[in-house]
């Protein structure tokens, strides 16, 4: 009995010791967990405070950028692009990077961790643009003050008289702004010089006509009116001097000494990395687009065989199937709106498209956020025929403008070519892309994102990619009643997106000639000459941006199909759209990561 008691005591002691050990381990784990939670809370609170301070400092340094996103506290300030401003920006960038390095990314929430990466990309991108890309030295179109003045004048965020007082103060810096511009420009490209001359000539209308008309109807005192008139006169003179200087500069460069507008492979890949934020490299996306072009050609050939008897009954198809596709597209493209009704037709279609989205429950719409279709302001013309100007998250209820350029600057032949390009079917797709449920709808959602960083530091590939994705989604959901003609034209339009990537890379990196570029656009993408010539011009004036459409579209569509596979019957298209758009203008890879985590997938 005594032996058994000893054994029992030993066993009890061992078990008690194990229990004590387990308790100690459990307590240690709980303590570590509590410390981790506390650290995470501290880090996230500190990062939230940092973001608020970062944005306040950002708008003080870039007041025009602030105006574009609806932050008007510094609306009377205009930054002059001189050495002093460079030093201020550099100090801000250094300070921001030092602050970012102090955060433990692992302790941040997923949303804050991605905000940190977006801020870092923004700062590193700004530094690269200044130190390596040096766009200020060779792109005279980089200098144009009219845009922010237009936002201030046309947005009712405070009484007109107060806005005019801000404009008057801002005008004081315009002469110094253009003096700095001329000092910065060394060897420009001819193409960007011509664009700068065109757009700044258009900008004169802001200071010679639009603002003076508002001053005349205002309640400003006579002294204030005299002052703003004096400032307007000085601003107009500064812009005119800049235009004359550019024209003279252009004459000296006409002998071939101008900089080549092509930036080359190394700069292109770097710019692609900062601007697009993709899972692809620029070269990989180019190769992906080459294959996509072949796939679209095959779809268009199939549709052409289906439609050929309807439009060419008894006529044999050409032996070359792509020639047959082009012949059918040319035949169909004569169905288009009249030249002088182009802008009015855009206005007519918008409510019809909106009704379809609502009735088919495709995503949430907000009737309180107005969309205004208007003719493109003169100072914005010269690159795209249609575009959207949306308010930022600080003034989210302000008007979104759908800019449509009238055709009065075209000859009859050019106008007909343009209208054939934007024919009966493609004009519908254009309006889906630019307005509903494309850019306008997406940007309304973005302005409601709880993260201002994701909305403000907008990723172009996500924004353009969504607009392209929305085109196909609308047709898939029944817009146009599955009409094969519409699908043929959609494939032509989507081919244009794909060829944008091919063209941009081919011009900027591979160095193809204008004739080769036009051949690609007209004979392989079936575009009208006016459209093709306009796209060539655009690709000489921008770099990388043309790839954003296809890159974003490809990543969004692939992610949607991935979620369909993962969720099965639980997948809901409207839920996907609303949740995807709730993350603001973050890059698609970032949104994918956040959504998968939030869906616990």
The C-alpha atoms of residue 179 and residue 182 are separated, in whole angstroms, by 5
pLDDT for res 1: 47
- Gap between the Cα atoms of 124 and 94, Å rounded: 10
3-state SS track over 282-339: HHHHHHHHHHHHHHHHHHHHHHHHHHHHHHCCCCCCCCCHHHHHHHHHHHHCCCCCCH
Per-residue pLDDT of 210-236, as tens digits, reads 999 999 999 999 999 999 999 999 999
Q: Left if phi > 0, otherwise alpha if psi is -120 to 50, otherwise beta: which for 511? A: left
* pTM (2 d.p.): 0.86
- Asked if pLDDT for residue 21 goes beyond 80, the answer is no
DSSP 8-class letter at 386? E
The total number of residues shown for the chain amounts to 601
pLDDT of 485 > 80? The answer is: yes
Average pLDDT over the chain reads: 92
Of all residues in the chain, what percent carry a pLDDT higher than 70? 94
pLDDT at 132: 96
| DSSP-derived 3-state class of residue 374 | strand
pLDDT in tens, 80-113: 999 999 999 999 999 999 999 999 988 998 889 8
Taking CA atoms, 124 is separated from 118, 277, 514, in Å, by 10, 13, 34
Task: Specify the pLDDT at position 263.
Answer: 97
Torsion of CA 325, 331, 332, 338, to 10 degrees: 140
Whether 276 and 461 have beta carbons less than 8 Å apart is answered as yes
Residue tagged 């934007």 (tokens): 422
Residue 8 exposure: Cα atoms within 13 Å on the Cβ side: 5
């Amino acid at each position: 009995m005594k032996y058994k008691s000893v054994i029992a005591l030993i066993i009890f002691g061992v078990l008690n010791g194990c229990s004590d050990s387990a308790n100690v381990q459990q307590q240690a784990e709980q303590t570590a967990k509590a410390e981790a939670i506390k650290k995470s809370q501290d880090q996230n609170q500190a990062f939230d405070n940092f973001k608020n301070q970062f944005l306040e400092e950002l708008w003080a340094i870039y007041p025009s950028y602030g105006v574009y996103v609806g932050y008007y506290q510094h609306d009377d300030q205009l930054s002059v692009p001189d050495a002093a401003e460079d030093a201020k920006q550099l100090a801000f960038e250094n300070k921001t990077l030092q602050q970012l390095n102090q955060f433990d990314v692992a302790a941040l929430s997923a949303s804050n961790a991605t905000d940190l990466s977006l801020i870092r990309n923004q700062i590193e991108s700004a530094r690269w643009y200044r130190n390596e890309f040096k766009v200020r030295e060779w792109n005279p179109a980089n200098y144009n003050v009219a845009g922010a003045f237009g936002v201030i004048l046309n947005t009712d965020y405070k009484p007109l008289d107060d806005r005019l007082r801000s404009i008057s103060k801002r005008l004081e810096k315009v002469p110094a702004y253009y003096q700095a511009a001329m000092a910065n420009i060394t060897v420009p490209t001819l193409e960007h010089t011509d664009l700068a001359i065109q757009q700044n000539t258009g900008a004169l209308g802001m200071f010679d006509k639009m603002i003076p008309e508002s001053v005349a109807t205002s309640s400003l005192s006579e002294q204030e009116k005299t002052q703003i008139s004096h400032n307007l006169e000085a601003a107009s003179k500064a812009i005119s001097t800049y235009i004359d200087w550019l024209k003279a500069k252009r004459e000296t460069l006409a002998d071939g000494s101008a900089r080549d507008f092509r930036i080359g492979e190394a700069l292109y890949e770097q710019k692609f990395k900062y601007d697009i934020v993709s899972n692809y490299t620029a070269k990989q996306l180019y190769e992906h687009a080459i294959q996509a072009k072949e796939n679209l050609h095959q779809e268009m050939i199939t549709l052409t065989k289906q439609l050929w008897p309807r439009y060419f009954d008894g006529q044999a198809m050409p032996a070359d199937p792509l020639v047959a596709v082009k012949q059918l597209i040319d035949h169909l493209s004569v169905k288009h709106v009249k030249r002088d009704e182009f802008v009015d037709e855009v206005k007519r279609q918008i409510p019809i498209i909106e009704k379809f989205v609502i009735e088919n429950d495709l995503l949430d719409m907000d009737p309180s956020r107005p969309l205004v279709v208007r003719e493109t302001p003169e100072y914005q013309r010269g690159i795209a025929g249609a575009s959207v100007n949306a308010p930022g998250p600080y003034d989210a209820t302000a008007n979104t403008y759908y800019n449509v350029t009238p055709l009065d600057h075209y000859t009859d032949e050019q106008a007909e070519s343009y209208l054939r390009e934007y024919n009966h079917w493609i004009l519908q797709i254009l309006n889906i892309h630019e307005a509903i449920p494309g850019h306008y709808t997406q940007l309304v959602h973005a302005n409601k994102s709880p993260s201002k960083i994701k909305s403000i530091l907008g990723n172009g590939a996500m924004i353009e990619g969504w607009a392209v994705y929305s085109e196909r989604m609308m047709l898939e959901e029944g817009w146009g009643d599955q009409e094969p003609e519409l699908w043929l034209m959609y494939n032509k339009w989507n081919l244009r997106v794909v060829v944008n990537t091919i063209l941009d890379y081919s011009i900027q990196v591979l160095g193809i000639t204008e004739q080769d570029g036009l051949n690609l656009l007209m004979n392989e993408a079936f575009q009208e000459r006016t459209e093709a010539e306009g796209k060539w011009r655009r690709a000489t004036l921008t770099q990388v941006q043309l790839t954003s459409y296809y890159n974003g579209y490809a990543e969004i569509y692939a992610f949607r199909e991935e979620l369909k596979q993962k969720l099965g019957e639980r997948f809901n298209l409207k839920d996907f759209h609303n949740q995807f758009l709730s993350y603001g203008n973050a890059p698609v890879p970032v949104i994918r990561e956040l959504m998968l985590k939030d869906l616990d997938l």
